[in-house]
């Protein structure tokens, strides 16, 4: 243990580890100094000064998130003057903020609101000039409302430091400072990957998903349409949080029942298509291993990663699997196989998806994914949006009697469930690829090496004497590190999984806002959501995608076999380099490749 | 792109290549942007794109820097730059009225350039000529003791130049 030092907080003596900030030390001692711009996973900006404390010997208050402790330091966190200073700061922010909490999307989920309440601010004093900006509604996925922005800079740091997308900056200065993409470009014309992580870290409603709930409600009320739903694995693992349930409560059955009550005629499960994806992807991988196509093969189900690939890594396009994402495969099968089975015109189907992801809204609109002149998925709503719809429809989500998804596109294996967490696609793919390649059954199907929240995970396995080296990255910043290794050492891996969001889909940009007293991107919360999916897997008798009888039937009746011509027509896609070109800064690429 | 613009771009690329040799080349961003503005008169988007690729700095960071410093022009500037002093002395003596007259005469807002590319209107901090406030500066010449009529006359003279 390091040499402990002594500090005094509010005159009480504590022994603490050196080399940390006042805030970190205080956090561990049971204090919670108010804060705003600080986020434990981002660099320290020290911009808001909400976290001020008094340090003996310093004339001015210091920002506790940035100020290091030293031996003998005497700190005050709760004097009258401090409370007043913090309150003044928050009031100044409020004076430059629209006063429309009761109609705001983040009402009751807003950090600024909570902070103001905790400071006892109950009235506004000044009515000065407030900044005015147009909303940027250009993107299908992530919209921007700079009037709500309080310039904490978290989104800018997140998009740069965690995602390495560097789409945002604080442009201009002084009163005119505003968070924008380069050239004040609309989000739709920026390098934004639509991952939605800026929504998750924003304390207010300055970033939001584009809302499609009204469009979905009108479709649900249209008697001439056949309404078909699908929902992603991690929606069931997180939606409970929006109803006050503990993090990691699996609400699959309640979600299915609620979707039916909302008016869906058929409720399918994206996990079915996750199994289908594995059939195609594992087969494609084995083809590549045989020499037909480039290695390493990189997975393609994460929509934010798709956009990142086309702008930042066009040179790796041939390495990326041509498989559509489970959502898009499910959509395609809904409007072809299922429509034919029912004998209905696919244009009469409203295909809707409840996703943990904002980028899926972008994906659904990608022209590359169309077939027979149709989109596979017409409307995508996030976990947050579907939770709101359930509340708005007056359903008792928590106590509703659980139900099962419909057939033929509703049955899933355990492999389909773990798709929602980092490493899950790799694990599912290995379970199937091994069996297809060797003709034997893999016994140890829980592959620990690819589980967990380490940024980049590596593993290897032997199939009939052949060593297969795999790697998994989650969050685009980790992906970027891994891909730079691939650029320098293309033979290092055979198979790579990339998910655009930290933690994978469980940490998606469309998931419920963090509960009071937790922070966005919290590892403990991500782990609990992932555990819900791993438990689901363990609870199933069928745990390998190729054992899913629904998928087997689909091949028999419609697709013939993996990678068939029909499969290629409906389940595969292509990518192309797109503008604007994404630039990753030099210092992020200074990685040494160890042999 | 015109041949001239291409030449300028080549000069800029050479300048960046030279800078890129040095350690911490990212920290030369401001110097490179200055060079670009010297060459092009302002910072067009295509030029910032070239700087971004040349220095491997994301465009958003470049945009943040270019909009932070007043001396970078993001739009083409006119043949004459008209700066209105907004220092305390000038302000007290009616710089606002002078500025309003200029806005009307030139039909632009502060920071903009007239359609004929003759004038760019800017605000300035104290120009150091408080004795003859209110003052404006056109290119590098100071004009003092102005009012709305005098300033319009000065602009008209420049039109005839
Ligand atoms: S959606 Fe993702 S990529 Fe786009 S601005 Fe937000 S954090 Fe950056
Ligand atoms: S948009 Fe949100 S996260 Fe970004 S600076 Fe503004 S308030 Fe902070
Ligand atoms: S939280 Fe410390 S300055 Fe913002």
Q: How do residues A8-57 score in pLDDT, each as one tens digit?
A: 999 999 999 999 999 999 999 999 999 999 999 999 999 999 999 999 99
The backbone region for A178, taken as left when phi is positive above 0, alpha when psi lies in -120 to 50, beta otherwise, is beta
Q: Residues of chain A with pLDDT > 70: what percent?
A: 98
Does residue B73 belong to any structural domain of this protein? Answer: no
**B91, two tokens:** 């302000």
- Across the interface, of A167, A173, A583, the residue whose CB is closest to B56 is A583
Tell how far the Cα of A160 is from the centroid of ligand 1, in angstroms.
9
The beta-carbon neighbor of A583 closest among B25, B53, B68 is: B53
B117 inside domain:
yes
- Read off the pLDDT band of A591 (50, 70, 90): low
- With contact defined as beta carbons under 8 Å apart, do B34 and B65 qualify? no
Last residue of a domain, one of A209, A234, A264: A209
The answer to whether the Cα torsion of A359, A365, A367, A371 is positive or negative is positive
Is B48 near chain A, with CB under 8 Å? yes
B30 in helix, strand or coil? helix
Active site residue A368: yes
Q: Which of B26, B60, B62 sits opposite A586 (nearest CB)?
A: B26
A61 and A152 housed in the same domain: no
pLDDT of residue A595 exceeding 60, the answer is no
Bond from prior residue into B157 cis (ω within 30 degrees of 0): no
Ligand 2 atom, smallest distance to A206 CA:
1
Identify the DSSP state of A572: B
Interface contact A182-B60, CB threshold 8 A: yes
A465-513: per-residue pLDDT in tens?
999 999 999 999 999 999 999 999 999 999 999 999 999 999 999 999 9
Looking at the fold, whether A298 and A425 belong to one and the same domain comes out as yes
Residue nearest to atom 4 of ligand 1 (CA): A192
Residues A218 and A196 in one domain: no
Residue of A nearest to B45 (CA): A183
Give how far A172 is from chain B: nearest CA, Å: 5
The atom of ligand 1 lying closest to the CA of A192 is 4
Which residues form ligand 1's pocket by a CB distance below 6 Å? A 142, 158-159, 163, 165, 167-168, 192-198
Kindly state whether residues A194 and A224 are assigned to the same domain. no
Domain endpoint, select from B68, B94, B124? B68
Expressed in angstroms and rounded, the spacing between residue B81 Cα and the centre of ligand 1 is 39
- The pLDDT score that the predictor gives to residue B4 is 83
Q: What would the two tokens of residue B78 be? A: 């006119």
Per annotation, catalytic residue among A368, A448, A557, A560: A368
Question: Which residues neighbour B141 within 8 Å (Cβ) at sequence distance 6 or greater?
Answer: none
Asked if the Cβ–Cβ distance from A580 to B57 is below 8 Å, we say no
Pair (B54, B104) in one structural domain? no
**Which residue of B25, B52, B64 is in closest CB contact with A583?**
B52
Q: Is residue B136 part of a domain?
A: yes
| DSSP E strand stretches across A384-490 | 456-463, 466-474
- Asked if B56 and B88 sit in the same domain, the reply is no
User: From its phi and psi, is residue A96 left (phi > 0), alpha (psi between -120 and 50) or beta?
Assistant: alpha
Query: What are the E-state strand segments in A440-510?
Result: 456-463, 466-474, 495-499
Print the domain residue range for B131: 80-160
How far CA A456 is from CA of A308, A447, B51, in Å, comes to 18, 15, 32
Q: Count CA atoms within 13 Å of residue A436 on its CB side.
A: 23
Contact at 8 Å (CB) between A415 and A545? yes
Q: Do B56 and A584 touch (CB under 8 A)?
A: yes
Q: What pLDDT score was predicted for residue A175?
A: 87
Checking if the pLDDT of A592 tops 70, the result is no
Give the number of domains in chain B: 2
Is the per-residue pLDDT at B52 higher than 60?
yes
* Cβ of A414 less than 6 Å from ligand 2: no
- Out of B52, B57, B63, closest to residue A171 by CB: B63
Q: Are residues A404 and A390 in the same domain?
A: yes
DSSP at A515: P
Q: How far is A185 from chain B (nearest CA, A)?
A: 10
Q: Hey, is A378 helix, strand or coil?
A: coil
Q: Give the CA distances from residue A422 to residues A235, A434, A478, B9, in Å, rounded to whole numbers and listed in that order.
A: 15, 20, 12, 44
Q: Ligand 1, residue A168: give the atom nearest the CA.
A: 5
Kindly give the distance from the C-alpha atom of residue A492 to the centroid of ligand 1, in angstroms, as a whole number: 30
pLDDT digits 0-9 by tens, A374-411: 999 999 999 999 999 999 999 999 999 999 999 999 99
Residue A22 shares a structural domain with residue A163: no
Verify that A200 and A286 share a domain, yes or no.
no
B64 contacts in chain A (CB < 8 Å)? 169-171
Establish whether residue A520 lines the binding site of ligand 2, counting it when its CB lies within 6 angstroms of any ligand atom.
Answer: no
Q: Which atom in ligand 1 lies closest to the alpha carbon of residue A193?
A: 3
Q: What is the pLDDT of residue A586?
A: 81
Q: Which token pair is A179?
A: 């968070």
In-domain check, residue B75: no
Residue A584 within any structural domain of the chain? no
| CATH assignment at residue B136 | 3.40.30.10
Query: In this structure, are B50 and B101 located in the same domain?
Result: no
Is pLDDT at B12 greater than 90 in this prediction?
yes
Write down the pLDDT at residue A126.
Answer: 62
B22 — contact with chain A (CB < 8 Å)?
Answer: no
**Minimal Cα–Cα distance from A529 to chain B, Å?**
34
Residue B74 lies in a domain: no
Q: How many CB pairs under 8 A join A and B?
A: 63
Examine residue A194 and state whether it is found in any structural domain, yes or no.
Answer: yes
My answer on whether B63 and B103 are in the same domain is no
Same domain, yes or no: B86 and B57: no
DSSP B67-130: HHSTT--SS---SEEEEEE-SHHHHHTTHHHHHHHHHHHHT--TT-B-TTSSEEEEEES--S-G
**Separation of CA A241 and ligand 2 centre (Å):** 23
Q: How many A from CA of A145 to the centre of ligand 1?
A: 14
Instruction: Name the band, by pLDDT with cuts 50, 70 and 90, for residue A125.
Output: low
Res B102: pLDDT: 95
Residue A155 annotated to the active site: no
Could you confirm whether A587 is annotated as catalytic? Answer: no
Is residue A500 within 8 Å of residue A195, measured between CB atoms? yes
Question: What does the pLDDT read at residue A594?
Answer: 59
Q: Which of A147, A199, A207, A514 to mutate to test the pocket of ligand 2 (most atoms within 8 A of CB)?
A: A207
Whether B116 and B149 map to the same domain: the answer is yes
Q: Confidence band (pLDDT; 50, 70, 90) for B10?
A: very high
**B26 — contact with chain A (CB < 8 Å)?**
yes
Distance A26 CA to ligand 3 centre (A): 14
In A139-283, beta strands by DSSP E: 142-144, 168-171, 178-181, 207-209, 226-231, 266-267
The contact set of A with B (CB < 8 A) is: 160, 166-173, 180-184, 191, 580-587, 589
> Could you tell me if residue B138 is inside a domain?
yes
CATH number where A43 lies: 3.10.20.740
Tokens for A50, please give them: 């909400």
Q: Domain boundary at B68, B90, B118, which?
A: B68
Q: A537 in a domain, yes or no?
A: yes
Separation CA A192–CA A167 (nearest Å)? 6
Is residue A363 among the annotated active site residues?
yes
Q: Which two tokens stand for residue B155?
A: 């602009």
Lowest-confidence segment of A433-437, B24-28, B33-37, B73-77 by average pLDDT: B24-28
Q: How far, in Å, CA of A23 to CA of A355, rounded? A: 36
Q: Quick check: CB of A37 below 6 Å from ligand 3?
A: yes
Which token pair is A96?
């430059």
Residue A171 belongs to domain with CATH number:
3.30.70.20
Instruction: Report how many helices (DSSP H) and strands (DSSP E) chain B contains, helices first.
Output: 7, 4
- Counting Cα atoms < 13 Å in the Cβ hemisphere of A241 gives 26
Q: Which of A505, A528, A545, A567 is the catalytic position?
A: A505
For residues B56 and B99, state if they share a domain. no
pLDDT in tens, A283-318: 999 999 999 999 999 999 999 999 999 999 999 999
- Is A182 in contact with B56 (Cβ distance < 8 A)? no
Confirm if A317 and A575 have CB atoms less than 8 A apart. Answer: yes
pLDDT digits (tens, 9 = 90+) for A66-91: 999 999 999 999 999 999 999 999 99
Q: Residues A181, A325: one domain?
A: no
Residue nearest to atom 3 of ligand 2 (CA): A202
CB A262 within 8 A of CB A534: no
Rounded Cα distance, A424 and A529, in Å: 13
The predicted-structure confidence for A140-194, as pLDDT tens digits, reads as follows 999 999 999 999 999 999 999 999 999 999 999 988 999 999 999 999 999 999 9
CATH number at residue A464: 3.40.50.1780
Compute the distance between CA of residue A390 and CA of residue A354 in angstroms, rounded to an integer.
12
- pTM, 2 dp: 0.92
Q: Are residues A192 and A168 in the same domain?
A: yes
Reply yes or no on whether A557 is catalytic: no
Same domain for A229 and A201: no
- What total of structural domains would you count in chain A? 3
- Among all chains, which residue has been given the structure tokens 């220095």? B55
Same domain as B94, residue B34: no
Helix/strand/coil percent split, chain A, to 5: 40, 15, 45
> What spacing in Å lies between the alpha carbon of A155 and ligand 2's midpoint?
5
Residues in A closer than 8 angstroms to B55, CB to CB, are 586
Which of A301, A350, A356, A480 is labelled catalytic? A301
Q: Is residue A585 part of a domain?
A: no
CA distance A61 to chain B (A): 27
Distance CA(B16)–CA(B13), nearest Å, equals: 5
Q: Return the residue of B nearest to A579 by Cα.
A: B49
Same domain, B153 and B84: yes
B86 shares its domain with B122: yes
Does A577 fall in a domain?
A: no
Could you report the per-residue pLDDT of A412-444, keeping only the tens digit for each?
Answer: 999 999 999 999 999 999 999 999 999 999 999
Quick one: B121 and B100 in the same domain? yes
Q: Are A115 and A50 in contact (CB under 8 A)?
A: yes
ipTM of the shown complex: 0.92
CA proximity to A446, closest of A525, A537, A312: A537
Query: If you average pLDDT over every residue of chain A, what do you get?
Result: 95
Q: How far is CA A157 from CA A154, A328, A388, in A?
A: 5, 31, 29
Two structure tokens written together for A185: 């470009």
Inside any domain, residue B52: yes
Q: What confidence category does residue A593 fall into, taking pLDDT thresholds of 50, 70 and 90?
A: low
Catalytic site includes residue A105: no
What is the β-pairing status of strands A495-499 and A456-463?
A: unpaired
Q: Which two tokens stand for residue A176?
A: 């005119």
C-alpha closest to that of A102 among A215, A203, A205, A179: A205
Do A22 and A69 meet the contact criterion of CB atoms below 8 Å apart?
Answer: yes
**Same domain, yes or no: A190 and A250:** no
B91 and B27, same structural domain? no
In ligand 3, which atom is closest to the CA atom of A49? Answer: 3
pLDDT score, position A305: 98
Lowest mean pLDDT among A183-187, A569-573, B52-56: B52-56
The residue from A105, A147, A310, A363 that is catalytic is A363
Q: Which residues are within 8 A (CB) of A197 and not within 5 positions of it... i.e. 6 or more apart?
A: A158, A159, A162, A163, A501, A502, A509, A521
Residue A30 lies in a domain: yes
Convert the pLDDT of each residue in B92-138 to its tens digit. 999 999 999 999 999 999 988 999 989 999 888 888 899 999 999 99
Write the CA distances from A412 to A278, A346, A531, A548, integer angstroms. 12, 24, 18, 6
In this predicted model, what pLDDT tens digit does every residue of A305-363 receive, in sequence order? Answer: 999 999 999 999 999 999 999 999 999 999 999 999 999 999 999 999 999 999 999 99
Residue A533 lies inside a defined structural domain of this protein: yes
Instruction: Say if residue A173 is in the same domain as residue A265.
Output: no
What is the residue range of A54's domain? Answer: 5-78
User: Is A521 contained in some domain?
Assistant: yes
Whole-number Å distance between alpha carbons of A52 and A39: 15
Q: For residue A242, is pLDDT > 90?
A: yes
The dihedral formed by the CA atoms of A169, A172, A173 and A175, expressed in degrees to the nearest 10: -100
User: First and final CA of chain A: distance in angstroms?
Assistant: 33
């Amino acid at each position: 243990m390091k040499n402990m030092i002594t500090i005094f907080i509010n005159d009480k003596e504590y022994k603490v580890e050196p080399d940390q900030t006042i805030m970190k030390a205080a956090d561990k001692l049971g204090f919670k100094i108010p804060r705003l711009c600080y986020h434990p996973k981002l660099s320290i900006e020290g911009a808001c000064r909400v976290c001020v404390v008094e340090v003996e010997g310093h004339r001015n208050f210091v920002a506790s998130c940035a100020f290091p402790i030293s031996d003998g330091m005497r700190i005050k966190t709760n004097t009258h003057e401090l409370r007043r200073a913090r309150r003044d700061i928050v009031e100044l922010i409020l004076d430059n903020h629209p006063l429309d909490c009761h109609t705001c999307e983040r009402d009751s989920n807003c950090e600024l609101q909570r902070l103001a309440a905790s400071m006892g601010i109950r009235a506004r004093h000044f009515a000065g000039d407030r900044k005015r900006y147009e909303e940027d509604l250009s993107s299908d996925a992530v919209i921007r409302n700079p009037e709500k922005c309080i310039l904490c800079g978290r989104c800018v740091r997140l998009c740069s430091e965690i995602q390495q997308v560097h789409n945002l900056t604080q442009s201009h200065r002084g009163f005119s400072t505003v968070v924008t993409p380069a050239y004040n470009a609309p989000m739709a014309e920026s390098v934004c990957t639509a991952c939605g992580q800026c929504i998750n870290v924003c304390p207010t409603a300055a970033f939001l998903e584009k809302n499609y709930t009204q469009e979905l409600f009108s479709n649900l009320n249209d008697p001439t349409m056949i309404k078909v739903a699908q929902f992603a694995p991690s929606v069931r693992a997180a939606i409970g949080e929006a109803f006050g349930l503990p993090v990691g409560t699996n609400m699959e059955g309640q979600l299915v029942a609620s979707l039916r009550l909302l008016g869906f005629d058929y409720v399918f499960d994206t996990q079915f298509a996750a199994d289908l994806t594995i059939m195609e992807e594992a087969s494609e991988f084995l083809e590549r291993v045989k020499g037909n196509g480039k290695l390493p093969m990189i997975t393609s189900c994460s929509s934010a990663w798709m956009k990142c690939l086309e702008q930042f890594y066009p040179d790796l396009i041939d390495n990326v699997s041509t498989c559509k994402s489970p959502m898009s495969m499910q959509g395609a099968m809904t409007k072809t196989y299922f429509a034919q089975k029912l004998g209905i015109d696919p244009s009469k189907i409203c295909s809707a998806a409840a996703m943990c992801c904002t980028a899926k809204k972008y994906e659904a609109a990608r022209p590359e994914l169309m077939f027979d002149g149709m989109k596979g998925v017409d409307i995508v709503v996030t976990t947050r949006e579907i939770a709101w719809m359930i509340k708005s429809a007056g359903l008792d989500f928590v106590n509703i009697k659980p139900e099962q998804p419909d057939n033929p596109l509703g049955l899933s294996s355990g492999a389909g469930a773990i798709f929602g967490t980092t490493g899950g696609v790799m694990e599912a793919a290995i379970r199937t690829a091994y069996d297809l390649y060797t003709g034997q059954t893999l016994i140890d199907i829980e592959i620990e090496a690819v589980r967990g929240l380490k940024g980049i995970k590596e593993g290897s396995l032997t199939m009939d004497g052949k060593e297969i080296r795999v790697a998994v990255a989650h969050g685009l910043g980790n992906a970027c590190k891994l891909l730079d290794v691939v650029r320098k050492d293309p033979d290092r891996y055979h198979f790579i999984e990339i998910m655009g969001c930290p933690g994978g889909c469980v940490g998606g940009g469309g998931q419920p806002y963090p509960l009071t007293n937790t922070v966005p991107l919290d590892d403990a919360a991500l782990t609990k959501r992932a555990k819900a999916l791993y438990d689901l897997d363990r609870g199933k008798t069928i745990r390998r995608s190729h054992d899913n009888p629904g998928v087997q039937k689909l091949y028999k009746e419609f697709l013939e076999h993996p990678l068939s011509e029909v499969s290629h027509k409906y389940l595969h896609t292509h990518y192309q380099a797109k503008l604007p070109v994404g630039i990753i800064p030099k210092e992020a690429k200074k990685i040494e490749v160890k042999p | 792109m015109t041949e001239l613009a291409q030449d300028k771009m080549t000069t800029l690329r050479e300048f960046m290549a030279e800078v890129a040799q040095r350690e911490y080349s990212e920290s030369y961003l401001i110097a490179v942007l200055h060079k670009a503005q010297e060459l092009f008169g302002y910072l067009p988007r295509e030029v910032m794109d070239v700087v971004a690729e040349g220095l491997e700095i994301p465009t958003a960071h470049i945009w943040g820097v270019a909009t932070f410093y007043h001396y970078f022009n993001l739009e083409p500037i006119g043949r004459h730059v008209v700066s209105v002093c907004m220092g305390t002395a000038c302000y007290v003596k009616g710089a606002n009225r002078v500025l309003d007259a200029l806005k009307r005469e030139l039909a632009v807002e502060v920071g903009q350039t007239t359609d004929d590319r003759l004038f760019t209107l800017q605000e300035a901090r104290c120009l150091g000529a408080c004795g003859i406030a209110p003052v404006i500066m056109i290119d590098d010449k100071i004009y003092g003791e102005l009012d709305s009529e005098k300033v319009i006359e000065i602009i008209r003279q420049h039109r005839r130049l």
